[in-house]
Chain A
Amino acid sequence: GNSVTQMEGPVTLSEEAFLTINCTYTATGYPSLFWYVQYPGEGLQLLLKATKADDKGSNKGFEATYRKETTSFHLEKGSVQVSDSAVYFCALSEENTPLVFGKGTRLSVIA
């Protein structure tokens, strides 16, 4: 079945550091890929998405590129802020199937 594996946290960074959260996937077909974010005390929100190979999703300074050859969708940000502290979930979906999520990576950014 389909699955998503993402790096375990927690990840602790200083403000303005570079962020990478690794995500790899297993799928039977050609999925769409997503990053969701859950800020403290808030609900799950879509951060960015990519629907086909080589697409780059971007939002709020975060980027991820759909790499079919390596089955990866790593999340990156060049300079993190304290307000980026949250739990980040990588997810995939194929046609007419619900989102499948990774276990989440908690990011803490300290000033």
Chain B
Amino acid sequence: NAGVTQTPKFQVLKTGQSMTLQCAQDMNHNSMYWYRQDPGMGLRLIYYSASEGTTDKGEVPNGYNVSRLNKREFSLRLESAAPSQTSVYFCASSSGTAYGYTFGSGTRLTVV
């Protein structure tokens, strides 16, 4: 069972380039999330989708957009990448509030 699958695993972008990080879950979860992880700062929420058809901003949404394509898929787009967006990005899903999150294995993004 795959759980939460993220692609790509690694990516190097030049400043100003755009890209989309893909995430898919096969657990029939309603809620999906995008976090970024930076040294010494834990995981910070970028955007989340409580259910299919809805998206909301998290703690650090600037410079990002998301799409909840269907119940399984939740993508994160960087329209014009900046060096400050160099980070490890994690997608997660859950059944809802107060239930454990299942995380993907992450995408390590470097913007030069």
Q: Do A and B come from one complex?
A: no
Q: Chain A residues in contact with chain B, CB under 8 A? A: none
Q: Chain B residues in contact with chain A, CB under 8 A? A: none
